[in-house]
Amino acid sequence: MVVESQIRAAIRDCVNRTSRKPFIWGGLSGYQQLSAIGEVLRSLSCRQIDADYLSVLSVWVDLALSNNLSVALDLAEAHKWLRRITECLRYPNNSRRISGNVTDITRTAEIPKTSFQVRCEMEELLQKFVPDPQQHPAQFALKKKLQRLWEKYSTYLLHCYDIPGLPPDNLKIESLFSHLRRHQRRISGRKSTVELRDLGQYQVLFIAQNEKQLLEQIREVPVAEYKTQRRRLAKAVAPRQQKRRLHRNPVSTIQSLVDQHTELLTVLESQVLKY
């Protein structure tokens, strides 16, 4: 059925995303999504009409969760250490762009610590972070990469902590200078892309000098044809919307699919009883 295929697609999405490897760096969200799916499936009661399909599926999901539990725990601990590193480098507090008068910018020199203090804290953190390469490969990979980057680039990075108003974050630095450039020059073109997003795919089909002529040409399109194309468009974007809902709230998304599945089974059971 369609609902069952959507549930299977949700499970495949946990372990087969194109942006990362399954259950390795960045895969913790996939494991958490699969865990949420397994929690919903385990809460269901057994139904005979579907040959216990969801119960069997729940067993396979639990098996995948148990097989990758150690990897997920290792990865979760690595993420905790990564957050400690960002706190040591003061990314959450001082990476925000400063807006306002000169007084606000001068105050930022009093809030963050100096480069010497950041270096001492970072080296102390590296000494405490001693993972076992056999038991915790993800943490060991993080420590190895961090140690190499710190030894290679720490000298250049630490200058950011001694310059008032300069964020110690490469992306924030680029954003800061981009913001300054936008104040120095005017960018030609549209101020907003809302019009292009709403009607951009249709404007290539019309030749109009103004919005009035464009509206007249759009009104010439038959309503039935317009509704047909809208249904095709909605059908095409439905999988992407479903995946987006799944990533944002996997529990409610899977629960809604399971509820649809239960309703269909109830209808089938009533039809079987009639015959």
- Dist CA 7 CA 9 (whole Å): 5
* Exposed e or buried b per residue across 20-56, where buried means at least 16 C-beta atoms within 10 angstroms of its C-beta: eeebeeebbebbebbbbbbbbbeeeeebeebeeebee
pLDDT band at 202 (very low <50, low <70, confident <90, very high): low
Looking up tokens 């919307």 gives: 241
Using one digit for the tens of pLDDT, what is the confidence trace for 113-148?
788 888 888 889 989 998 988 889 888 998 998 899
Per-residue model confidence (pLDDT) at position 46: 60
pLDDT at 238: 82
* Residue 198 banded pLDDT, cuts 50, 70, 90: low
Percent of the chain with pLDDT over 70: 68
Q: How far apart are CA 1 and CA 138, in angstroms?
A: 39
Mean pLDDT of 215-236: 84
Q: Which secondary-structure segment (H or E) carries 126?
A: helix 115-128
* Per-residue pLDDT reduced to its tens digit, 6-64: 777 777 777 665 554 444 445 777 788 888 888 888 877 665 444 467 777 788 888 88
pLDDT at 101: 40
Model confidence at 105: pLDDT above 70: no
pTM: 0.58
Q: Is 90 left (phi over 0), alpha (psi -120 to 50) or beta?
A: left
pLDDT at site 42: 80
**How confident is the model at residue 112, as a pLDDT?**
59
> Where are the domains positioned within the chain?
2-67+222-274, 72-184, 190-221
Q: Which of 239, 257, 245 is nearest to 41 (CA)?
A: 257
